[in-house]
Structure 1
């Protein structure tokens, strides 16, 4: 919906009315999706990170609204909004976000588990981490598909193997191709670049110059679009 504001006062009135609408929808109608939007409003418009953080936490604790769980997890990890930096609490809320269908929660929880965060109280678990990335990819998270593709290109070695010879997940170019293709179709530019190279070299898929050139062009077009379109979408918190 487009708005044709005639003056700065009209913009201020619109923003204030929006805040009132969100508060009513959250506190009176008790709609978790509106509570999340109110949190985004407090964060992005009012710059009141303390209130936003409390709202995200309550919306997660009371309604288990996945997007709010994810946002509060990031507050814990960053020490934002009056929260002390708390990696374990952040990981906990990432887990809840994932359980409630928020793919970003699954994606970030997976990344935590495949990297060494034992000093922060989270035990590395590469198989579980990869399972979470698969779950995120299946939920159309383009970044998760890209990371999985990369893991299958190089393989994942056992970090406790002193000579790093033992694979926990062996290289598999067919799987790497599958995830690169999915990531590209979901809009991940790096997946498209890798897909072009796979077709050019015949890795994980039959060599095909025409398709290599096609995805090379897709990559260039995506890069050009990213450089020319750097605006934010209002109410993107629900997407």
Structure 2
């Protein structure tokens, strides 16, 4: 994350913007170099001071950097009221990240009142200028009807554009909007999972297990559930445990399954509690523990499990 944010500060400025150097005037290039050096040293007070100096001369890149540090509270307190005009100048000069930031301000009412229509307009410009997150945010406004009409088709196309440009969250949303039997949905969910989005790995596992958007692949489905579980996604742990009890796509391992159901029950997963209770009662994967089984059944029912056993407790 730090490296990504630093990259936003390490800017390249047009050579023709330079002033003639003298002993008292810093050129655009020297100011640019000074900001880069300060950012690489994580000296954000210096970045803030230098970029403010550059923004006074309405150099868009400097204004974006100044707005960015103000927005994120780097090198001093967060100040969105000062960030907004600096972002505005940068956006007017076609810096897409600035337009996207203004969109979030308008959508959330960060400076002034909530303005969905303005948010959609800023996101549209950011997207047009090639910023994937702008396309993603614009898609969301179409999906939810923020600042205008709802359009599932527009949202789908915009999520597709952002996904194609490497935004994993857009791939996830694209997949969820498409029909589950559409091969594109399966492919997009796979991309999101490969970017380590836990829910995407879980959903991709379900697609592989159910043969949605392609052939059934139980071994890969198990791997996806296990990957989701490794990222603390409870539903992934639950279905990994189920596979270990059934042997679907993996060798049966009741000991590991019992451990997974126990851990997932502790995360308030009702069905995991029920299966953990059953294994304690049956002695699967370890010793019988009827008292422990009773407690796990009670917990499952308290968590909302609808089962005939709950009426007997």
Asked if TM exceeds 0.5, the reply is yes
Which of 199, 203, 209 in structure 2 is aligned with 1:200? 209
> Is 1:36 the counterpart of 2:45 in the alignment?
no
Q: Which has the higher contact order (CA 8 A, sep 6+)?
A: 1
Check whether the contact 1:22–1:35 (CA below 8 A) recurs between aligned residues.
Answer: yes
Q: Show the counterpart of 2:83.
A: 52
Residues 213-239 of structure 1: CA deviation (Å, up to 9, x unaligned): 221222123338xxxxxxxxxxxxxxx
Which of 136, 147, 157 in structure 1 is aligned with 2:173? 147
Gaps of 5+ in 1: 3-12, 154-170, 225-239
Which of 76, 79, 83 in structure 1 is aligned with 2:109? 79
Which of 84, 88, 98 in structure 2 is aligned with 1:68? 98
**Hey, what's the Cα distance between the residues in 2 that align with 1:126 and 1:16?**
44
Q: Which SS does the other structure have where 1:123 is aligned?
A: coil
Cα deviation for residue 176 of structure 1 reads 1.6
The higher radius of gyration belongs to 2
Cα deviation for residue 31 of structure 1 reads 5.2
Q: Show the counterpart of 2:192.
A: 183
> Is 1:91 the counterpart of 2:120 in the alignment?
yes
Cα deviation for residue 177 of structure 1 reads 0.6
Deviates more, 1:204-213 or 1:14-23: 14-23
- Tell me the TM-score normalized by structure 2: 0.55
Check whether the contact 1:141–1:186 (CA below 8 A) recurs between aligned residues.
Answer: no
Check whether the contact 2:60–2:89 (CA below 8 A) recurs between aligned residues.
Answer: no
Check whether the contact 2:142–2:149 (CA below 8 A) recurs between aligned residues.
Answer: yes
Which of 198, 201, 209 in structure 1 is aligned with 2:218? 209
Q: Show the counterpart of 1:131.
A: 157
Check whether the contact 1:73–1:90 (CA below 8 A) recurs between aligned residues.
Answer: yes
Number of aligned pairs? 191
**Hey, what's the Cα distance between the residues in 1 that align with 2:219 and 2:50?**
53
**Hey, what's the Cα distance between the residues in 1 that align with 2:145 and 2:53?**
44
Deviates more, 1:103-112 or 1:205-214: 205-214
Runs of 4+ in structure 1 deviating by more than 6 angstroms, as ranges, are: none
Deviates more, 1:172-181 or 1:137-146: 172-181
- Tell me the TM-score normalized by structure 1: 0.71
Check whether the contact 1:140–1:186 (CA below 8 A) recurs between aligned residues.
Answer: no
CA RMSD of aligned residues (A): 2.5
**Hey, what's the Cα distance between the residues in 1 that align with 2:232 and 2:95?**
34
Check whether the contact 1:183–1:191 (CA below 8 A) recurs between aligned residues.
Answer: yes
Check whether the contact 2:201–2:224 (CA below 8 A) recurs between aligned residues.
Answer: yes
- Flag the 1:56–1:223 CA change in 2: closer, same or farther, 3 A: farther
**Hey, what's the Cα distance between the residues in 1 that align with 2:72 and 2:150?**
34
